[in-house]
Amino acid sequence: MSDLDVFRTRLGTLMTRVRKELEDRDGALSGGFRLKGLSEEEAHRIRGFVGKEPGPHPDRVWIDLAHLDETVRHGYGVGLEELFEALGNPLRFRSTIKREEEELRARILAPALASPLYEAAWFRSWLEHRDTRAAVTRRVNSGKDTDTFGQAVRVLETVDAHACAPETPGAGAFPLLLQNLAVDATGDTKALNNERSLTTLVLSALAARSGTTRPADRDAEERRAFWEANDVVQDDLASRVLALNLPARGPVLGSWLTEAAEHGIPFQITLHQLVRFPPVPTARVIHVCENPAVLRLAAEELGMRARPMLCTEGWPSAAFHRLAAAAVSAGARLRYHGDFDWSGVAMAQRVAERYGADLWRMSAADYLDHVPARPHPLEGREQPTPWDPGLAEAMRERGAAVFEESVASALVEDLAER
């Protein structure tokens, strides 16, 4: 057995503890430590090596670091620090590790600190948030994935610049496509897909920017809606809104909408069409529903006699926001109805805040009038209903969801009024 094998095998327990002590002490040899819980054979071997007599506790040995260093130098011609180098595993002193960690942290944060976004309060707040600090610390501790933070900053700079850019006269600004945003920041079209670490960082920052909360990790629909609220879309052909009897001015799409309204035909509009041929709706009041079953019933029963309608088909898409903003800018008033569940009232609140919309048949009384005998249980995080605080209280007490299609007949009665 070679000299080094003696330390690796016969004195392994001793050397493991010596390493920890020296690294924590930055190599200082003053003082010592006590090894405990040794087997009889280990204790005998270690005492023999350091020249100690058995004490009152046979499973313990006191180790004086300076004496151990002197023993190793006398027997092998090197000190403890050189011995660990010879064993192929040099000491890493605590001060060295701390300095390296500080340097790595500075390198990870450098793109954020150098970004023009650092002037914005929301950006600095995001950097100081405990989740962001924890994400940086994880990367420092692992020594890996040091590029993702800089990539997140590049994505945020692009989104913020796009939001601040003036629109082209006569046309809306084209939204950012998610895959293009990912490629520009990372070279990978899938880098901003759901549940990626980069996506989590970016969505957290955008939530700080908008004063909202980050969408749930596993709620793909909520995440899509959140991206689209920041004018980032996965596909401008897949982002759609459904309209009924919504005449509009403007070439191509405006003409199509007007002609569809003349026949009472539902018309599905893509974000691509809205950007390419932006219409100007002429309706003064537009009723908005969440479920297409309501719009379909209005088309079947009322046809061209139904009041102008939009349907979000779930979480409002970028296409809905584009058309709703155009309608409100032209002087229209929105009236919104959705599901009586926590997700539905959250959508209602967002539409009301963003467009000054009236809430249509969304009171506590409306809810209680339609709670079914065998209800579907409420799920998700409870949401406030500031337009009628009694609604949230009633929903919490009943614990029942009332979906929009179950009240479609009552809504269609409103749509028939002139």
Which amino acid, one-letter code, is at 145? D
Burial class (CB in 10 A: 0-12, 13-18, 19+), 344: buried
pLDDT at 417: 64
Distance of CA 285 to the CA centre of its chain: 36
Partnered with residue 243 across adjacent β-strands are 267, 310
SS3 of 33, please? strand
Partnered with residue 401 across adjacent β-strands are 376
Neighbours of 111 (CB within 10 A): 17
Residues 319/269, Cβ–Cβ less than 8 Å = yes
Report the C-alpha gap between 234 and 382 in whole angstroms.
Answer: 28
Residue with tokens 């897909």: 193
Report the C-alpha gap between 2 and 145 in whole angstroms.
Answer: 40
Residue with tokens 């969304």: 362
Quick: pLDDT tens for 204-244: 999 999 888 888 777 777 888 888 878 888 888 888 999 99
113-122 contact pairs (CB < 8 A, 24+): 115/153, 115/156, 115/157, 116/157, 117/153, 117/156, 117/157, 117/160, 120/160, 120/209, 122/205, 122/208, 122/209, 122/211
pLDDT at 394: 96
- Residue spans of beta strands (DSSP E) within 38-85: 61-64
Tokens standing for 44? 């005998």
Which regions in the chain score pLDDT beneath 70? 1-6, 8-9, 165-173, 417-418
Residues 159/115, Cβ–Cβ less than 8 Å = no
pLDDT at 5: 65
Tokens standing for 275? 């950007």
pLDDT at 169: 37
Angle at 174 between CA 170 and CA 179, to 5 degrees: 170
Residues contacting residue 167 through CB under 8 Å, at least 6 positions apart: 173
User: Shortest CA distance to 203 belongs to which of 159, 147, 138?
Assistant: 159
Report the C-alpha gap between 45 and 11 in whole angstroms.
Answer: 8
Cα separation values, 85 from 71, 81, 152, 375, Å: 17, 7, 40, 71
Angle at 411 between CA 408 and CA 417, to 5 degrees: 140
Question: What is the full DSSP assignment across 75-118?
Answer: HHSS-HHHHHHHTT-----HHHHHHHHHHHHHHHHHHHHHSGGG
SS3 of 335, please? strand
Domains located in the chain, CATH noted: 3-92 (no CATH), 97-231 (no CATH), 240-416 (3.40.1360.10)
Tokens standing for 296? 């379909």
Cα separation values, 149 from 23, 136, 210, 264, 407, Å: 30, 8, 20, 51, 47
